[in-house]
Structure 1
């Protein structure tokens, strides 16, 4: 599961890293939670036409009968995306990247749940594979939502949780965002576990558990990185 994450860089850094063709009103986020509007990158057939905007985290697919009537999954398992025709349709036509520089999972120790932040060793940005869709509201308005794809954890994450987000290597981002690619067989192989040797983790304050708390001290380490 991926239920909380961070993106703490500037808009300029996002534009440079992901080669974006636009910017939007954005502020660094230290404790992003489901149900919130989050930055998302939509691709095109040309890499220099990538665009960033906002999607609400928690998928309401176009086939839903009502906005709040379904599960609104914040995550989809890579295995489910590969197997279910309804989600394969989104895989082939409605892909996006969620920019991040860390994500949180909770380690159980007795009755205590200790939040742990996972980042790249070089503290760089990365893109999480996601799907999006548009649901037409009764008044004709459009609701744009998304879900982050998860996969089996690497050994570092497995110490804390049994799933992790699909983090795409830089070389895979262009293929994932290329809207001319509509064959599932070309996309499913991208949904792999990210190597542990490129990541590190550290414990953070339990205030991260409060989804309304979104301050810079959320990412301050309690203990040394491992």
Structure 2
């Protein structure tokens, strides 16, 4: 599964991770950035400890004015980067209901075609999520040890995801997403039996976003690359308010984790 992540990426880094065009730092405007339409990027708060309910920049193909440039698809569609909340709230959720972002922050790729909340999104509502890494907890008796998982060269991880839009009783529209998961790779199954669907190549990124003819099972297979690495981090990560570079500082597994809880 994937319920915690690190995302401190700039808009330009997010765009490049998705394979979207960016503007040049020498082209004026004070620096490089996405050369595709963006929506609500001011809602994103960079964090080393991102939880469901937080806004993250998401890449999608949308039929929005001005989206046809930048290598977009047909019928006026094109790439867009939009901040959406992590944790899917289906569009059919009652307008007066309180959204629960922890209920569907992940979706099992093996069953998305069967679940009513997800199957209607596979054709038109695919999206991408970029992070620097994610966290997973290893159970050890009554204790849990968190690990930080990332690419060895520190390039962003790109996850396959699905999004939806829900309207509340005030008429406000909230876009939300869920990250697809698959069974763990052979190198990670000691840690957990699930892992996020990592789109490990540009071809897979493009196929997930633009080519629904590619078999879902092919795209959502576990990432087996040897460049996915991990190490133990502080158990203070379990506290939602704990944030900053200390989240990804490697610790000794034998270290007294209560020290971290008291300190932070």
1:130 equivalent to 2:173? Answer no
Q: How does 1:173-212 map to 2 (within 5 A)?
A: 173-178=205-210, 181-182=211-212, 186-212=215-241
Q: Identify unmatched segments of 5+ residues in structure 2.
A: 21-33, 63-67, 73-77, 254-264
TM-score by length of 1: 0.87
Query: For the aligned residues, what is the CA RMSD?
Result: 2.4
Contact 2:167–2:174 at 8 Å: present in 1 too?
yes
Contact 1:128–1:149 at 8 Å: present in 2 too?
yes
1:30 equivalent to 2:48? Answer yes
**Residue of structure 2 equivalent to 1:5:** 5
TM-score by length of 2: 0.75
- 1:180-221 CA-to-partner distances (Å, cap 9, x unmatched) read x455x6444311101141211100111111112221211111
Take 1:85 and 1:137, find their aligned partners in 2: how far apart are those partners? 20
Count of matched residue positions in the alignment of Structure 1 and Structure 2: 221
| Helix, strand or coil at the partner of 1:208 | helix
Take 2:178 and 2:142, find their aligned partners in 1: how far apart are those partners? 30
1:52 equivalent to 2:84? Answer no
Take 2:142 and 2:55, find their aligned partners in 1: how far apart are those partners? 32
Q: How does 1:72-221 map to 2 (within 5 A)?
A: 72-84=103-115, 86-170=117-201, 171-178=203-210, 181-182=211-212, 186-221=215-250
Take 2:248 and 2:164, find their aligned partners in 1: how far apart are those partners? 31
Seen in structure 2, the aligned counterparts of structure 1 residues 80 and 177 have a Cα distance that, compared at 3 Å, is same
Seen in structure 2, the aligned counterparts of structure 1 residues 205 and 131 have a Cα distance that, compared at 3 Å, is same
Take 1:154 and 1:134, find their aligned partners in 2: how far apart are those partners? 32
Q: Identify unmatched segments of 5+ residues in structure 1.
A: none
* RCO higher in structure (CA 8 A, sep ≥6): 1
| Helix, strand or coil at the partner of 2:180 | strand
1:68 to 87, 98, 117: 98
Q: Decide which moves more: 47-56 or 205-214.
A: 47-56
Contact 1:15–1:22 at 8 Å: present in 2 too?
no
Take 2:12 and 2:45, find their aligned partners in 1: how far apart are those partners? 11
| Helix, strand or coil at the partner of 2:187 | helix
| Helix, strand or coil at the partner of 1:168 | coil
Take 2:251 and 2:10, find their aligned partners in 1: how far apart are those partners? 25
Take 1:38 and 1:9, find their aligned partners in 2: how far apart are those partners? 10
Contact 2:90–2:117 at 8 Å: present in 1 too?
no
> After TM superposition, which residue ranges in structure 1, 4 or more long, deviate above 4 angstroms?
none
